[in-house]
Structure 1
Amino acid sequence: MNNNIKSKTVPLVEFLGETSQKKAPHKFIIPHYQRGYRWERQEVSELIDDLWAFHKDRESGDFYCIQPIVLLKTEENTYEVLDGQQRLTTLYLILSFLEDRRFDDGYNQELFSLNYQTRKDCETFLREKKFIDNEDDSNIDYYHICNAYKTITDWFKDEKHRGAKGKLVPILMDDSSKGNRNVRFIWYEVEQSTNPIEVFIRLNVGKIPLTEK
């Protein structure tokens, strides 16, 4: 296996479905060999802080890059997540929180989905948005998802972030063709002949350098 995985930057909006264009949203598969969502309040807050800082700093460039996700394409619009589950899940929660504002501002795209090979109950929990106004701690996955969503809610309620909903929706939802600054993922896609478990292990011990094109 080639240790170097080439990259590109992909706007977050490309993960979403667009009914008018008959474009299906991306489906991300969380494989059985990965643990569930585990980000704590600090990591979630830091991500939103970074997005807010990007909005406020007009000298920071045309786009903000979220840290890498490493993927294996399994079929059209469907990818196995080798690295990046925490970031994808947090963005899913942020976009869920912003749903009313997104729709009010004309961003009607369908969210990407997170599908679990083994934890189907967690998949349902996310899809049905059971994390809203919920402090379910009946299992560890529910606990961390609910805690992250509460962190997001608290962040936007903070007086010093007044107006943040309207400011962050465009940078999350627009693509560069509209001439707007936006949020992108650093996207690494491994070859389909690759052993995903081997890549996952080697990523986690730092043996695969991620290099940009």
Structure 2
Amino acid sequence: MRVLLTDDHQLVRAGLRALLETFGGVTVLAECGDGQEALVLTNKLQPDVLLLDLSLPGLNGIEVARRVPKLSPSTRVLVLSMHTSAEYVAQALRAGVAGYLVKDSAVEELKVALDSVSQGRTYLSPAISQTVVAGFLRITEETPAANPLDLLTSRQREILQLIAEGNGTRAIAERLDVSVKTVEAHRTQLMDRLDIHDVPSLVRLAVRHGLVPGEPVGP
């Protein structure tokens, strides 16, 4: 099993790599701490499993998971996250992940999860209430616009995350290798779609829906 490891904390990656290398039949192809780099390496290495944190700078894990199938259709995404709320889990499942494991799981559970997703099955950590997740998914299926991020394109969600992380228009343009006018157009469109027209409100929405890390906040 060929694994690509993505987490934004270097010490966590080092510990996970050391652990994975004790599992028979598991090879860590590479590791990285950034969402964009994860996509580049996925495209280049075509791993069997992408072990993915959700809280990544620049491009969060949910967005990475959405894009993986176009780059490497055979790669299965296994989320390893500290987040246990139904909304995070539901967003990950809707993005197409094959498994969701919480970071305080036992070592043996990581091996079980890897084996499960590599064999084409879906794995959910027992720490996650499947009843709550099922209920949340049912509600979102009945009301597709319940999550306002679903109104945005992939690029608009990416720009929203970068705005929420404190990046200015020029910095975003340089990071995405597009013109300032293109970023401004996307920003205007996403604000119109969300009916939000100031940056603080955008940041609150991004935090509330897990696009960037932070404490849950009100409207």
Q: Which TM-score bucket, shorter chain as reference?
A: under 0.3
Q: Using CA pairs below 8 Å that are at least 6 residues apart, which structure has the higher relative contact order?
A: 1
Structure with the larger helix share: 2
Give the structure with the larger strand fraction: 1
Question: So what's the TM-score if we normalise by structure 2?
Answer: 0.25
TM-score using structure 1 length: 0.25
